[in-house]
């Protein structure tokens, strides 16, 4: 799966502070106060991703994989590829939409 260079550049090194999966949405809170929201059809996640640092993000079609430095991954199927992810900083400013 090819890397998503833009999202990797923004997320690499951030540490997961919270991980919440609701029906149709994944919300990852980072220790720096930023929040990633993804509209998803399906999520496969490690048992406890909190405290884990992001290494790389890969994307192919509707499939998105967030690889972490501890070798765990968070894999999800996006509900609307290209329009399912939002990342906002701690002040609510948009860092990434896609």
Range of the domain at 70: 5-97
Q: What is the pLDDT of residue 22?
A: 86
Total domain count, the chain: 1
Q: CA of 24: how far to CAs of 28, 41, 81, 82, in Å?
A: 14, 6, 14, 16
Count of residues in the chain: 98
Q: What is the pLDDT along the chain (98 residues), one digit of tens a residue?
A: 899 999 999 999 999 999 998 889 999 999 999 999 999 988 886 667 889 999 999 999 999 999 999 999 999 999 998 899 999 999 999 999 99
Q: What value, to the nearest 5°, has the Cα angle with vertex 4 and ends 28 and 38?
A: 30
pLDDT at res. 47? 65
């Amino acid at each position: 799966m090819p890397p998503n260079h833009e999202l990797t550049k923004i997320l690499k090194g951030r540490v997961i502070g919270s991980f919440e999966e609701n029906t149709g949405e994944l919300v990852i809170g980072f220790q720096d106060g930023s929040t990633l929201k993804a509209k998803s059809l399906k999520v496969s996640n490690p048992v406890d991703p909190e405290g884990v640092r992001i290494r790389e993000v890969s994307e192919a079609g509707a499939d998105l994989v967030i690889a972490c430095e501890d070798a765990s991954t968070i894999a999800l199927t996006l509900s609307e590829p290209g329009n399912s992810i939002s990342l906002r900083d701690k002040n609510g400013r948009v860092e990434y939409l896609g």
